[in-house]
Amino acid sequence: MVELNQVYKCSVCGNIVQVVHASIGTLVCCEKPMELLVPKDADAGLEKHVPVIEAKGDGILVKVGDVPHPMEEKHWIEWIEVLLNGGGSFRKFLKPGMAPEAEFPVKPAEVLVAREFCNIHGLWKSKSRA
Ligand SMILES: [Fe+2]
């Protein structure tokens, strides 16, 4: 069963979708069940994928990551998002050449988790804030 905010990818065509309303059906694309992307939160080496959340002005800055991720034509961060404790969310879409970061108008304490999607290395999330 799908859950709110899960991200799924089609292994055939590469479509990626995020659940904004969860129900009982199985998500299908190109006549095959879509693959659930489970976000990772630890790099094997330098932390260039795990989002880092910093307070900035009245909001936050989310950087990818401790070591800036490449933003090249063939390898870049497609989007950064924050999911909020109250159920809301913000997302910024990026392009090659842009900085691998995004500002959002929320307080750090409002953030449940930050996530980002690398076109090669997939879905990542910030470390637990407990
Ligand atoms: Fe990457």
pLDDT tens for the 130 residues of the chain, in order: 899 999 999 999 999 999 999 999 999 999 999 999 999 998 777 779 999 999 999 999 999 988 999 999 999 999 999 999 989 999 999 999 999 999 999 999 999 999 999 999 999 999 865 4
Q: Which of 9, 10, 29, 48 is catalytic?
A: 48
Number of alpha carbons in the 13 Å side-chain half-sphere of residue 3: 5
Contact 124, 41 (CB under 8 A): yes
Q: Is 118 noted as a catalytic residue in this protein?
A: yes
Q: Is 49 noted as a catalytic residue in this protein?
A: yes
Q: Which of 75, 78, 95, 107 is catalytic?
A: 75
Residue 128 has what pLDDT?
66
Contact 13, 129 (CB under 8 A): no
Give residue 25 CA to ligand 1 midpoint distance, Å.
31
Residue 1 has what pLDDT?
84
Q: Is 21 noted as a catalytic residue in this protein?
A: no
Contact 115, 66 (CB under 8 A): no
With CA atoms as reference, report the closest residue to 32 among 5, 47, 10.
Answer: 10
Q: Is 13 noted as a catalytic residue in this protein?
A: no
pTM of the model: 0.93
